[in-house]
Amino acid sequence: MQHTLHETAGGVATGRPAALALLALAAASFGIGTTEFVIMGLLPEMASDLGVGIPTAGLLVSGYALSVTFGSPLVAVALARLDRRRALLVLIGLFILGNALCALAPNYRLLMLARIVTALCHGAFFGLGSVVAADLVPPHRKASAIAIMFTGLTLANVLGVPFGTALGHALGWRATFWAVVGIGLVAAAALLAWLPRHLAQESGSLLSEMRVLRRTQVVLAMLLSVLASASLFSVFTYVAPLLAATAGATPSAITGVLLLFGVGLTVGNVLGGRLGDWRQMPSVIGLALALVVVLVALVPASAALMPATALIGLWGILAFALVAPLQLRVLTAADGARNLASTVNQGAFNLGNALGAWLGGVAITAGIPYGHLPVIGAVLALAVAGVGVVAHRLDR
């Protein structure tokens, strides 16, 4: 039975076709999230198999993040003349190719190259996918639509990473990448079948799009993304040693806490979509201030496992609730260059990841106890609230 294709003023599907298109985008984001994070659980096996040290293997994570930050905008520019449906299909093809190369890589250097190729699709897919998701629905549901796409990313942390890690331990790390290739093929089939046939492309020139990126509100929106992500990763990067050092948590207990944190990310993603549709900037400011309170409370609470676990779950909810509103903020502020701006904003999130991890590492090297790291996250969250207030006042 054929489904009727309803269209908005922008010529994009709504109703059931829109729901299926969002499901296809979420499936692709699940695969991308899995391949990004699963490598952290497989580093010892990969290092041993490739004959490198674990710190050297860890550079596969850094190389991926840097490729997202600096390579994805170049990919977005290269695909600018394609309609959005075709561009997304090219990107998922690049994702499948990159993961197949990872599974086949005979040595460390080629694996690094394969990871860089895979990461090139990451920021461009989430950036372009956010634009498509927002265009699939009425104006009052845009943040929720973006959140649906990012649900795949949060579920990757809850389901994809644990199962991918277990598969890698049982059958070897290459089996995990082949499994991700399978996920990519399923996502590609869903995108091919369910994305509307006619998705518009940006009509402006590259020069005009670059000018849009210089707008004050666009710059402020991306600064918010950097600060929010830095706040999260200044603590999350070191959450395992933090719990071990302050609460005496065992490895199995830490795994349970991280699973709860992943569930919190998923809940926060849905919450953030609804808050972003309700009141975008006031929600960003309120969430940031709530993060300050939770992170400050985590300093004394981290001494005992139960209260620390509860606060970390709440922290996950609040931290990821910021993502959809911030992504929509960039799309709103960068009208006329949404593809490029949305992709660059994914680079901003990844830049924040690296900045936060670096700040936490500097603090630990300086002798600051693990249990005090949440203070750094709280200061950065307070900065999010401050920049949010400035951006909100400029709207008036």
pLDDT digit string, tens, across residues 106-154: 999 999 999 999 998 998 999 899 999 998 999 889 999 999 999 999 9
pLDDT, residue 358, reads: 86
Parallel, antiparallel or unpaired: strands 13-14 and 6-7: antiparallel
- What domains can be seen in the chain, in order of their start residue? 13-142+149-197 (1.20.1250.20), 208-395 (1.20.1250.20)
- Checking if the pLDDT of 13 tops 60, the result is no
Which among 132, 150, 47, 40 has a CA at the least distance from the CA of 84?
Answer: 132
pLDDT digits (tens, 9 = 90+) for 284-318: 999 999 999 999 999 999 999 999 999 999 999 99
Q: CA quadruple 230, 235, 236, 241: dihedral positive or negative? A: positive
* pLDDT, averaged across the chain: 88
- Checking if the pLDDT of 6 tops 70, the result is no
Which among 103, 72, 67, 89 has a CA at the least distance from the CA of 185?
Answer: 89
Give the helix/strand (H/E) hosting 106.
none
- For the chain, the straight-line distance linking the first and the last C-alpha, in angstroms and rounded, comes to 49
Give the helix/strand (H/E) hosting 7.
strand 6-7
346 and 296 Cβ atoms separated by less than 8 Å: no
Beta-ladder partners of 96: none
pLDDT, residue 307, reads: 95
| Whole-prediction pTM | 0.82
> What CA–CA distance (Å, rounded) separates 187 from 217?
34
Where is average pLDDT lowest: 21-35, 285-299, 305-319, 355-369? 355-369
- Checking if the pLDDT of 11 tops 90, the result is no
Give the amino acid at 92: I
Give the amino acid at 232: L
| Beta carbons within 10 angstroms of residue 192's beta carbon | 13
**pLDDT band, very low/low/confident/very high, at 200 (cuts 50, 70, 90):** low
% of the chain exceeding 90 in pLDDT: 55
pLDDT, residue 65, reads: 82
**pLDDT band, very low/low/confident/very high, at 203 (cuts 50, 70, 90):** low
> What CA–CA distance (Å, rounded) separates 291 from 97?
39
